[in-house]
Structure 1
Amino acid sequence: MSLMDRSHPTESLRDYDEWTLDLRRLSMGVPFAQGAFGKLYRGTYNGEDVAIKLLERPENDPERAQLMEQQFTQEVMMLATLRHPNIVRFIGACRKLMVWCILTEYAKGGSVRQFLMRRQNRVVPLTVAVKQALDVARGMAYVHGLGFIHRDLKSDNLLIFGDKSIKIADFGVARIEVQTEGMTPETGTYRWMAPEMIQHRPYTQKVDVYSFGIVLWELITGMLPFQNMTAVQAAFAVVNKGARPIIPSDCLPVLAEIMTRCWDANPEVRPPFTDVVRMLENAEAEIGTTVRKARFRCCMSHPMTTD
Structure 2
Amino acid sequence: MDALTDMGEESRRAPGEAPGLSDERCRSLLSELDGLKRANDAVVLAHYYTRPEVQRAADYVGDSFALARLATTVPQRTLVIAGVSFMAESMKLLNPDKRVLVPDPSADCPMAHMVSRATVLEARERYGDDLAVVCYVNSTAEIKSWSDVCVTSSNAVRIVRGLSQHHVLFIPDEHLGRYVAQQVPEKHVILNDGRCPFHAQIGAREVRDLMRAHPNAPVLAHPECTSEVLEIADVIGSTAEIIEAAQNSAAQEFIVVTMSGVQAELERRCAPGKKFHFTSSSRCPEMDKVTLGQVVACLRDGVGEVPMPAHADAAAATLDRMLALASNKG
Instruction: Settle same-fold status: TM greater than 0.5.
Output: no
Q: Which protein has greater RCO, CA pairs closer than 8 Å, 6+ apart?
A: 2
TM bracket (short chain): under 0.3
